[in-house]
Amino acid sequence: MELQHFETNLAKEKIYPKLVRDNIPEIVGQKTGKEVKTRILADDQEYLAFLLKKVEEEAYELAHAEGREHLAEETADILELLDSLLDLNSLTWEEITKIKQSKAEKNGGFRKRILMLEKV
């Protein structure tokens, strides 16, 4: 699959300040010829807040993805953010997988596609 950026007109994409991938300021600068204003998030709590805000943005983009390739790209963005969240909180994918498995054993997964229509 060839990597491509999917342009959208989603309002959540246009909200600043926002966390961006490491090379984005240089890429934007090269495309526009202008210097992009940035700052480094040194405080872990502030970084966490912006990571979570970015997860929300990417989840919104994922929910509005059109087609398999777009869905794959947005999912990859969320995985990148999850890697950063785990790293920031000294968690591993092994720990997360164990929790996922435990929850699946207790409550099941989503494979049966069950839609609850109302709570009795």
In this prediction, residue 7 has a pLDDT band, given cuts at 50, 70 and 90, of: low
Total count of domains within the chain: 1
pTM reported for the whole predicted model: 0.84
CA angle 78, 26, 85 (to 5 degrees): 25
Identify the pLDDT of residue 15. Answer: 83
Residue at 60 is within a domain: yes
Identify the pLDDT of residue 88. Answer: 98
Domain span at residue 34?
A: 11-107
Predicted confidence (pLDDT) at residue 63 exceeds the cutoff of 60: yes
Higher pLDDT, 26 or 9: 26
Higher pLDDT, 92 or 8: 92
H or E element: which one contains 28? helix 24-32
